[in-house]
Amino acid sequence: MPLPRSAGIKGFLAALVLLLAYLLLWPVPVAPVAWQAPVNYGLTGLFAVNEQLSVARPIDIGGYEGPEDMALGPDGYIYASTSGGQLIRFRTNGNDLELFAEVGGRPLGIEFDSDGMLLVANAYLGLQRVSPERNIELLTDQVRGESILYADDVAVAANGKIYFSDASSKFGAQDNGGTLAASMLDILEHGGHGRVLEYDPVSRDTRVIMDGLNFANGVAVSEDQQYLLVNETGSYRVWKYFLDGPRSGQSVVLIDNLPAFPDNINNGLNGRFWIGLVAPRDDILDKLAPNPLLRKIIQRLPKFMQPPPQLSSHVVAITGDGEVLMDMQDSNSRFPTLTGVLETRQDLYLTTLVGHELGWIRKADLQ
């Protein structure tokens, strides 16, 4: 026998109350902070749509996945970090690919020091160092008595000091579903949990030199050793931190209001820097920036109802003064989620968060 109409209405109202209570009260890991996102002008002006990356050809890395960063070794091989905890290497034409070392965790940024040691920012484990003989050493996983939860990118100065980002001191990569999931939590909260750390290999001390960043990401030391560039992914900007001179220890915003999320930053040739723009900005996220409650509600939605990340292929080259030298895109996103660029005299190599391929561009093929 069908229920009376009044009973059906009561059931509907009860379900509606439960749904509202869930959306408003269910605990979530984020405590969003209100902020005002800058106006997104999109792919216009210096960042106008182009197809410069369309000439990229693939280098297959076999069963390895997610070559997030690369570095050119003193032996002439290109080294790459992968999502399975391995470091691989191959020749500049992509041949002779082999496993170099199993470092565990999730290695992200990598960089060689002047002694040929490979430094690794490992999102799960901290700052590592790998010798040419493939011996692995953990340099630091603590600062101020706290664990480093999300080592992200690394750079080394001529004096041997190592600079690396701790993307989020709240949302650790290992404890929050991996690097991508943890980054989305930190960016959604916008709580200023990112920082840049300095490790002194002589004293073995680790100290904080910048903090309050919204997902601290790429770091690079200038060719003249005067400053450090730092990508603040969650605020779409690049910082300049002075290492030497009268402004030593101070920082200024170098580029603001990028049209996408900046990821790694790598030294190129002739003093330039390459930045990977891993994904375009999300209009919904920007519009909800002043409203913490609605951002919490989004976090409570089932995954299939949350705004999906958008795919793009986009990198830029800049000077240390913030001038955009080159903007390169591919509207077909054959190599999506680009994290950065390794530049050699003849070639550009594109790193990415996902997939079993990386992009390779011969400079002679560029217009």
Continuous segment of H or E residues that includes residue 17: helix 5-25
- For the chain, how far is it from start to end, CA to CA, in angstroms? 76
Query: Can you give the pLDDT at residue 304?
Result: 74
Rounded to 5 degrees, what are φ and ψ at 10?
-65, -40
Pair 258, 265: CB distance under 8 Å: no
Residue 7 inside a domain? The answer is no
Q: Are 69 and 106 in contact (CB under 8 A)?
A: no
Task: Give the pLDDT score at 302.
Answer: 78
Is residue 152 within 8 A of residue 166, CB to CB? The reply is: yes
Residue with tokens 């750079």: 155
Any domain includes 277: yes
Please indicate, yes or no, if residue 102 is contained in any of the structural domains: yes
Closest C-alpha among 191, 193, 206, 266 to residue 231: 266
User: Which stretches of the chain score pLDDT less than 70?
Assistant: 1-8, 10-27
pLDDT at 120: 99
Among candidate residues 262, 240, 231, 218, the one with its CA nearest the CA of residue 320 = 240
| Strand partners for 118 | 112, 130
Kindly report the CATH number assigned to the domain that includes residue 55: 2.120.10.30
Domain annotation covers residue 4: no
Q: Is residue 9 part of a domain?
A: no
| pLDDT (0 to 100) of residue 12 | 58
Residue 126 belongs to some domain of the structure: yes
Please check whether residue 309 lies inside any domain of the structure.
Answer: yes
- pLDDT at site 20: 57
> What's the domain range around 309?
28-365
What is the count of structural domains for the chain? Answer: 1
**What local confidence, expressed as pLDDT, does residue 88 receive?**
98
